[in-house]
């Protein structure tokens, strides 16, 4: 019954009225009403899943914020199992109606930011690889993305294999930016530690009800299949040492971007001696007055390695004295 018409503005309005609902700004509710976009986003996600599985099996999808179930229906067609997490209690009975015939869909009424994500993924999907697909609520786009990325262990194959999301164009550009560009930020470097991001296509404001004031775009993050060792060479062989190194690199990234106008030496001075950072930067072939926004994620990791080695060498010297 809902096969094609959930994208009709009049049907959406009728449906909301039937359940005495209206779009809630506080939950970032901008429902997709474009007849092709929900399918296009779900298919971009599933294409990634198919490529990864190389026809050998099925994957599962996690949707954040199903809203009226428009994209959920498309995901249901393409994935073996779909779990959709919705914060708005008022939408749950409505979703029960619009997804009644989608037997592989599970709706969970929860705040996605409060989930213990690794445990939730195991509970919902067992060992099945998971592809996240969502039209994200704009007010919490970055915390959601950070939560998804944090679920990936640096040394292991991640359960979340890809993230295909509709976000503000500005965020999509940030996720895909190159070091040194105005859009490059801490989140860009953090993404690079777990995978690669690609902007797929733009979505006009007229594709939503109500219309947002900003333009939007779909971005896809493909996570490294075996963790960060797939992307950076020369990393420690021990998983424990690698986890510690990536933790340290993330700390450097967050300090390096906290005050963009400062040189990296000054930005890190609360934690590392200025001479120490300058010398580590020189070893990497970087100018000691470089700013944090010019370093790639890989360079942050190498810097973390250098700083650790120098600290180790220093404590060895002081122990021998
Ligand atoms: N997927 C639907 C669509 O494309 O039409 C709705 C997208 S709408 C931009 C965002 C959805 O996320 C809403 O359904 C909203 O209630 C839900 N949402 C907002 N904050 C949430 C949170 N913290 N956890 C789970 N869902 C949330």
33-45: pLDDT as tens digits = 999 999 999 999 9
53 CA to centre of ligand 1 in angstroms: 28
Residues 130, 158: Cα–Cα separation, whole Å: 9
61-92 per-position pLDDT tens digit: 999 999 999 999 999 999 999 999 999 999 99
Residues 278, 263: Cα–Cα separation, whole Å: 10
144 CA to centre of ligand 1 in angstroms: 11
> Which residue, judged by its Cα, is nearest atom 6 of ligand 1?
67
Strands 60-64 and 216-223: unpaired
Going through 136-209 in order, the beta strands assigned E by DSSP cover 160-168, 195-203, 208-209
| Residue 109 Cβ < 6 Å to ligand 1 | no
The best mutation among 22, 38, 67 to test binding of ligand 1, ranked by most ligand atoms within 8 Å of the C-beta, falls on 67
Checking if the pLDDT of 3 tops 90, the result is: no
Checking if the pLDDT of 309 tops 90, the result is: no
312 CA to centre of ligand 1 in angstroms: 48
| Residue 23 Cβ < 6 Å to ligand 1 | no
Q: Are 41 and 61 in contact (CB under 8 A)?
A: no
Mean pLDDT of the chain: 93
Q: Give the three-state DSSP class for 136.
A: coil
pLDDT at 4: 64
| Residue 98 Cβ < 6 Å to ligand 1 | no
Using the atom order of ligand 1, give the atom closest to the CA of residue 27: 19
């Amino acid at each position: 019954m809902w096969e094609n018409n959930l994208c009709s503005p009049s049907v959406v309005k009728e449906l909301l009225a039937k359940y005495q609902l209206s779009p809630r700004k506080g939950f970032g509710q901008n429902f997709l009403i474009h007849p092709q976009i929900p399918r296009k986003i779900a298919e971009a996600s599933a294409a990634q899943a198919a490529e990864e599985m190389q026809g050998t099996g099925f994957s599962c999808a996690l949707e954040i914020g199903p809203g009226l179930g428009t994209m959920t229906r498309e995901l249901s067609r393409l994935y073996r199992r779909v779990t959709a997490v919705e914060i708005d209690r008022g939408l749950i009975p409505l979703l029960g109606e619009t997804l009644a015939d989608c037997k592989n869909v599970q709706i969970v009424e929860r705040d996605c930011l409060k989930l213990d994500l690794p445990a939730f993924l195991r509970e919902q999907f067992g060992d099945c690889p998971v592809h996240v697909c969502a039209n994200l609520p704009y007010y919490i786009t970055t915390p959601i993305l950070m939560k998804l990325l944090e679920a990936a262990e640096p040394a292991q194959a991640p359960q979340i294999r890809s993230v295909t999301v509709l976000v503000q164009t500005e965020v999509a550009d940030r996720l895909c930016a190159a070091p040194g560009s105005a859009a490059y930020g801490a989140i860009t470097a953090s993404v690079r530690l777990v995978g690669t991001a690609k902007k797929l296509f733009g979505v006009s404001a007229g594709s939503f009800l109500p219309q947002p004031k900003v333009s939007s775009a779909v971005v896809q993050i493909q996570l490294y299949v075996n963790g960060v060792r797939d992307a950076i060479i020369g990393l420690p062989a021990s998983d424990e040492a690698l986890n510690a190194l990536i933790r340290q690199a993330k700390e450097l990234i967050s300090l390096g971007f906290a005050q963009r106008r400062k040189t990296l030496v000054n930005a890190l001075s609360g934690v590392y001696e200025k001479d120490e950072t300058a010398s580590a930067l020189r070893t990497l072939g970087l100018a000691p007055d470089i700013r944090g926004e010019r370093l790639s994620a890989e360079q942050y990791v190498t810097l973390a390695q250098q700083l650790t080695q120098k600290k180790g060498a220093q404590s060895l010297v002081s122990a021998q004295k």
